[in-house]
A = this chain, B = another copy of it.
Amino acid sequence: MMSKLLLSGFEAFLGNAINPTEAIVSTLDGREIGGAGALTVTGTILPVDFQHGFERLLAAYRRVQPDIVLMLGLAAGRPSISVERVAINCDDSAPDNAGRAAHGSLIDPDGADGYFSTLPIERIVRALKDHGYPAVISNSAGTYLCNHVMYAMLNHIRATHAQVRAGFVHVPASHELAVSAASASSSATPMPSWSQRDLNAAIEIALEVLAEELV
């Protein structure tokens, strides 16, 4: 029987001209991973908005009824793929695209302080490295939109006792983003970056690990 994976990315934010997770999601949307019948991917792009970002993800989740949710986000400045270990019950950040900043508020006043990813994070990291892509486990998804949707998704799955696994992966900047960031500010330290092709390939490897996991 066919399993379903919901793959989310984000629109551009915080003055970054582009968000490479959009291109990853549009490349992988509709793909079948791991041989016929294994895993079909449905992609969705979320607004960088504390109020509506998770709403949009939850709508897709209800429509798709996935077995797995893999959320993607951009971590400009990080040099490798980072597979997040944990989400925390906290918004604390610069303004989102609607202009709303957060100052240490709880995402869900009744939620746990933190939730671990329920994806096989060590296996994903190992598979990426085996295929020649630098990858690490990260112990913080920050306190911006990325952590927000990761926390809210895991919290929702827990609250509804759903048999769904979910987790978050941060990707480095694409070369294209790094070039545009450098043009915008001549004095900025250049940010590490990968080609979009490498970013797409790395996330496809992560999806293959998840497809095997479901067998």
Report which A residues bind B (CB closer than 8 A).
14, 77, 79-80, 85-86, 88-90, 92-94, 101, 104, 112-116, 122, 129, 132-134, 136-137, 139-140, 142-143, 175-176, 178-179, 182-183, 186-187, 189-195, 197-198
Contacts and interface: CB of A to CB of B under 8 A. Distances in A.
A187 B114 CA distance: 23
A115 B90 CA distance: 12
Given A14-B187, A113-B116, A182-B136, A79 B122 contact: no
B129 A182 contact: yes
B193 A175 contact: no
Contacts of A190: 79-80, 134, 136
A19 to B, nearest CB: 16
Contact of A115 (B101, B113, B132): B113
B79 A132 contact: no
